[in-house]
Amino acid sequence: MKKFKYIGESLTHHLPFSVLSVSIGLIFVGILTFLSELLNVENVGEYFEELFHIFHPIHILFSALATTAMFWKHEKKFFKAFIIGIIGAAGICGISDVFIPYISGFLLGAKMDLHICIIEHPQIILPFLLLGVFIGYVAPETLEKSEGVIFSHSLHVFISSIASIFYLISFGLTEWIHKIGVVLIYMVLAVVIPCCISDIAFPLFFVSKNKEFKHFH
């Protein structure tokens, strides 16, 4: 019960920063969309696809760092932490950046292409994934401070929101601004739930029983 109570309290504390990060992400991508139209970029989809291939690996790095650090902070089992960091980052980031945006675009009437980056471009993803896990082993002490948690999680969600929107634009939904209200709801679902799960719930679920859960604040 203590584990689930801790997870619930952590999710509640992180939610406002998550929603703020998604909103800023929409503004950021909106400005880039306006500039692409102003400069008469011929193929906006390819333009944003290249940006997706920047933000998606960085998102995986932050996710691997946070997931590994959260588990390692509570249980010092090297191989277990490594597996949890890899699965939590690669799997849940795939849900956040790819699968939920893909479904969202489909529900909004766009003809979406399914692009799983870790399968099609492993040479791009793996260095970020492994580096994130490595940093996660040495980062828990830094994340002990509340400002460290707020900064890292907010930046993680901000990058995730941009990656998710880039996926929408790159692989189907080019006219997203006129549907920004619904896009906001979908992106909150795509970003907040998976990112909070990967940062908090997923690693703590595998911490051995009878462990003490230390709060960040």
Q: How far apart are CA 66 and CA 60, in angstroms?
A: 10
Range of the domain at 36: 2-205
Q: Does residue 217 fall inside a structural domain?
A: no
- Cα 97 to chain centroid distance, Å, stands at 7
Using alpha carbons, select from 61, 49, 158 the residue that is nearest to residue 98. Answer: 49
**What six digits make up the tokens of 142?**
């830094």
- The verdict on residue 67 lying in a domain is yes
Closest CA to 70 of 128, 130, 143, 10: 143
Q: Is residue 160 part of a domain?
A: yes
pLDDT score at 166? 92
Task: Report the domain count for the chain.
Answer: 1
Q: Is residue 33 in a domain?
A: yes
pTM of the model: 0.83
In a domain? residue 142: yes
Neighbours of 177 (CB within 10 A): 14
Q: Are 94 and 100 in contact (CB under 8 A)?
A: no
213 within domain boundaries: no
> Are 160 and 59 spatial neighbours (Cβ–Cβ below 8 Å)?
yes
Number of alpha carbons in the 13 Å side-chain half-sphere of residue 74? 26
Assigned domain for 46 exists: yes
pLDDT along the chain (217 residues), means of 10: 63 71 85 86 82 93 86 86 90 89 92 91 94 84 54 74 90 86 87 72 74 48
Does residue 137 lie within any of the structural domains? yes
